[in-house]
Structure 1
Amino acid sequence: MQILLFIIITLATFFLMELITWFTHKYIMHGFLWYLHEDHHQPKYPHVFEKNDAFFVIFAIPSILLFYFGLVPELNFMFFIGLGIFFYGVTYFLVHDVLIHQRFKWFKHTKNKFLLGLRKAHKVHHKHLGKEDGECFGMLYVPKKYHDQYK
């Protein structure tokens, strides 16, 4: 029974991360931490890393802490919250950096309607070069109209 609870906690955390990502992207990354996110919208030099990549570290810290405190003194629910955040981070890397921005050429020729919709919504997000007037701040949930373009 406890394993089922831990699975539910992990999955609930994963899906809650989409809301946290949307809020953080809209109000923090396009807000007071724009100076870290700006080079993602306005790349000036062809570097492997961007200042924006600092967010991977920033968002990994809660997961690492939850893993630690979820094992000390014994395995508890915090570990599984950290696991949900970790799974979301891996998914974010695969969708955002691999699929959308093609930092690695793994999914270059996908024909999947869902993945193509994610890519299109992100391109719409990036048409705005400044921090204002943005749209499509989520990562996995985007308006249906972007998926419907691919039949």
Structure 2
Amino acid sequence: MHTLYWILIFLGTFFIMEFNAWFTHKYVMHGFLWSLHKDHHHKDHDSWFERNDAFFIFYAIVSMTCWYIWNFHDVWYCLPIGLGIMAYGLAYFIVHDIFIHQRFKWLRNIDNKYARGVRRAHKIHHKHLGKHKGENFGMLIVPLKYFK
């Protein structure tokens, strides 16, 4: 039974992170921390890194804190939570930074209905250069209209 709970908590955390990413993107990145996210919409720098990259640090700290609590305080469910956050971060990096924005020249030839829908939704998101009037703030789950 313990293994089932572990798996359910891991998967639940992973899927909750999609909502967290949507919420953070819409209300924090396009809200009071637009100053950090703006360079992701406006390439006003020559660096490979963006100020926007700082957002991953927050979730990395939360994930590492869960690992710490599991390891040093023996709170078993903190490990699947920390791993779920880390797995979502890895998925985000692969889909957003590598597949969509091609920060590394990998995964360029992926062409299926899901991949096209995710790319379309993100392209529409970047069509809005300002802080307001944006759409498609999620990453892995996007509206069905982009799959047609």
TM-score normalised by L of structure 1: 0.95
Post-superposition shift, 1:70? 1.4
Residue in 1 aligned with 2:99?
A: 99
What are the equivalent positions in structure 2 for 1:21-60 lying under 5 Å apart? 21-60=21-60
C-alpha displacement at 1:75, in angstroms? 5.4
Return the alpha-carbon distance in structure 1 between the equivalents of residues 51 and 69 of structure 2.
Answer: 29
Q: Work out whether residues 41 and 126 of structure 1, in 8 Å CA contact, stay in contact via their aligned partners in 2.
A: yes
**Aligned-residue CA RMSD in angstroms?**
0.9
Does residue 88 of structure 2 align to residue 88 of structure 1?
Answer: yes
Corresponding residue of 1:114: 114
Alignment partners' CA distance in 1, 2:73 and 2:52:
35
Given that 1:36 and 1:52 are in contact with CA atoms closer than 8 Å, whether structure 2 keeps it comes out as yes
Q: In the aligned structure 1, how far is the partner of 2:122 from the partner of 2:97?
A: 11
Q: Distance in 2 between matches of 1:25 and 1:78?
A: 25
Aligned partners of 2:58, 2:112: CA distance in 1, in Å? 31
Residues 69, 78 of structure 1: 8 Å contact kept: yes
**C-alpha offsets along residues 15-70 of structure 1, whole Å, 9 cap, x if unaligned?**
01111111110000000000000000001223110000001112211001001101
State percent identity of aligned pairs: 55
Report if the CA contact (8 A) 1:70-1:80 is conserved: no
The aligned residue for residue 133 of structure 2 is: 133
Point out the more displaced range, 110-119 or 126-135. Answer: 110-119
Check whether the contact 2:6–2:77 (CA below 8 A) recurs between aligned residues: yes
Q: What CA distance in whole angstroms lies between the structure 2 residues aligned with 1:73 and 1:82? A: 14
Count of aligned pairs between the two proteins: 148
Are the counterparts in 1 of residues 39 and 45 from structure 2 also a CA contact under 8 Å? no
Instruction: Structure 2: give runs of 5+ residues left out of the alignment.
Output: none
Aligned to 1:72, the other structure's residue is in SS state: helix
Distance across 1 between alignment mates of 2:70 and 2:31: 32
Moved over 4 A (4+): none
Q: What is the one-letter code of the residue matched to 1:61? A: I
Give 2:76's aligned residue.
76
Residue 137 of structure 1 aligns to which amino acid in structure 2? F
Mapped partners of 1:73, 1:47: distance in 2: 41
Instruction: Give the secondary structure class of the aligned counterpart of 1:4.
Output: helix
